Amino acid sequence: RTRAMASIPETAAARKALKVSDIRAILDAVGVDSSGTKPVLLGKLEDHVAKQTSEAAPAADADAAEPQPPAADAEPPAAPSPEPAPAEAISEANPPPPTSARAREPAPEPATWEVDRGSPVPPRMDVPPPVDVPPPVEVPPPPAPAPLMPPATGDDDATWEEMGECKIIVANLPPDATDLSLATMIAPAAPDATAVKVLRAADGTSRRTATVVFASERAARRAVIAVDAGAAGAGVAAEHHREVAWPSDEDDCDVAKTTIYVANVPTSIPNEAVAQVMGTYGGVARVWRNVEPAAVGAGGDKPIVGVTMTSRDAAETCAAALSGVYKFEESQPHTVRVTWCDPSGERALPAAGGGGGVGEKRKREVEDGAQDGGDALSRQALMCGLPPTATESDLATYFAADGDDAPCKIVFLVPLRAAFLTYATPEAAARAVATHSGTLRPPGTAVPVTLRRASTDITRRPKTRAGGGGDGDGGE
């Protein structure tokens, strides 16, 4: 049993991040029943740790009380001190400290919720009372989109240039394209380009994608429009290359953010049960859904459950323990996905094979409108929630096993612990989001990262952040 206790992590947070198999192995080793879901197993483990701690306390008290033999060179005992004051004086001036037995009184058992949804729901553990959160602030509707080509005036130019998106991505290039041939090919669409570079894999193979640099954002926007209109050849497409975080990106990547989004929660599970499970890992301030369960199955979107935790540490612990692992019901087909961004804004992809003509691409963007989180036609994704120790050289290793679907280019946003990932096609970007968001755990951390599509239409770029560190919600 002493060996089993040594294998138990010392802190509660570390114990909560253990895998189910590790918890069961520890419980079996100490002779405790190892059946049940993860929250139930965590409760049994915490009870065992508390019991062992209380049993060890009397032995420690006895060792401290045992008299020790005097040392050989000890000084002779000092003269006896004056008689102590009467007991009444002592108790009035200095009341005696509580006894060790009183200090070891067990804490009251936490309350539990009984939820019957066809499978056991873990008991609530350490759920603080919900914190009153003010309702979301009403904001005015966004302004109408700006013209694609702003007038060439001094004041307007200053606004257009301030974010500095001066590079574009050119895709669907011929496999044998070189920097020189590319410069010649796009010259009609981008006569004022200052540099071109074909992106290649580690073995030198062309990714059929290139970056083109301009002196200004306005010139880059003009080139995107010209390329998409066919000036660089049939089938060649272009979009702005994202290197600067927009205010909406800063909301999603805020390293102090405490709101997480949980996908794949069955509609039969109420918000109270979600709060019960999330409360196992820290304080829960609020739980809400973006779609009412009644709308699902009648043409409604997939429901996403938003959960605001009381601290960033609690949110990260929750994501590490549940994302890609936990099921609220044994019968549900997929495990939950926990992310830092609301995935419900993702729109459907174009059909495989390039996404249709260039004109159709722009037409769909205008008709469908831009989404808050990203652009479903974009070849770029935003990755957020990176560990503090991540470096630029680490990021490429995260996707080494993706082969041709690995990013062509990575831009590391160090202060935000985020990165922009550029892919050869919109389909490759979509597969990366579907595969890695909420499941990719970088080496050295159990907290998964989040991937979402990156918006590339600078005419819809927000000018300010939504406020509150990106922790707003969609209402209750």
**458 and 320 both lie in a single domain:** no
> Burial, 401: exposed, middle or buried (Cβ in 10 Å; 0-12, 13-18, 19+)?
exposed
Predicted confidence at residue 377, as pLDDT, reads 78
In this structure, are 249 and 377 located in the same domain? yes
| Mean pLDDT value across the chain | 76
Say if residue 304 is in the same domain as residue 319: yes
> Are 269 and 327 members of one domain?
yes
Read off the pLDDT band of 164 (50, 70, 90).
confident
What is the number of other CB atoms lying within 10 angstroms of the CB of residue 58?
12
Q: Please tell me whether the overall predicted TM-score, pTM, comes out greater than 0.85 for this model.
A: no
Sheet arrangement for strand 380-384: 409-413, 418-422, 380-384, 450-453
Query: Which residue type, as a one-letter code, is found at position 469?
Result: G
CA distance 392 to 413: 9
Same domain, yes or no: 331 and 387? no
Q: Is residue 279 in a domain?
A: yes
Domain-embedded: residue 170: yes
> Of 38, 61, 84, which residue sits at a domain end?
61
Q: Which of the four pLDDT bands, split at 50, 70 and 90, describes residue 462?
A: confident
Q: Is residue 278, in this structure, part of any structural domain at all? A: yes
Residues 224 and 266 in one domain: no
On whether both 469 and 452 belong to a single domain, the answer is yes
Please state which of the ranges 171-180, 221-230, 448-457, 466-475 shows the lowest mean pLDDT: 466-475
Domain termination site, one of 318, 339, 360: 339
What CATH number is given to the structural domain containing 271?
Answer: 3.30.70.330
| Residue 348: inside a domain | no
User: Are residues 415 and 328 both part of a single domain?
Assistant: no
- Structural tokens at position 13: 């947070």
Q: How many C-beta atoms lie closer than 10 Å to residue 473's C-beta?
A: 20
Tokens describing residue 140: 């005015």
Q: Does residue 433 sit within a domain? A: yes
Both 249 and 387 in a single domain?
yes
Residues 245 and 253 sit within 8 Å (Cβ to Cβ)? yes
Q: Give the model confidence (pLDDT) of 291-324 as tens digits.
A: 655 544 444 456 799 999 999 999 999 999 999 9
Mean pLDDT, rounded, for 152-174? 66
* Residue 264 and residue 289 in contact, taking contact as beta carbons nearer than 8 Å: no
232 and 277 within one domain:
no
pLDDT at 409 over 70: yes
Position 353: which residue type?
G
Domain-embedded: residue 78:
no
189 touches 231 (CB < 8 A) = yes
Tell whether 249 and 392 lie within a shared domain.
Answer: yes
- The rounded distance, in Å, linking the Cα atoms of 307 and 342 is 11
pLDDT of 50 > 70? The answer is yes
Q: At which of 61, 88, 108 does a domain end?
A: 61
- Based on the fold, state whether residues 378 and 460 are members of the same structural domain: yes
Per-residue pLDDT reduced to its tens digit, 332-383? 999 999 999 987 654 333 333 333 333 344 334 333 333 344 566 799 999 9
**The CATH number of the domain where 49 resides is what?**
1.10.720
- In the chain, how many domains are there? 4
In a domain? residue 295: yes
Structure tokens at 55: 């049993």
Q: Let me know if residue 345 belongs to a domain.
A: no
Give the residue numbers spanning the domain of 173.
Answer: 157-241
Alpha carbon distance 14, 282 (integer Å)? 13
Question: What distance lies between CA 52 and its chain's CA centroid?
Answer: 36
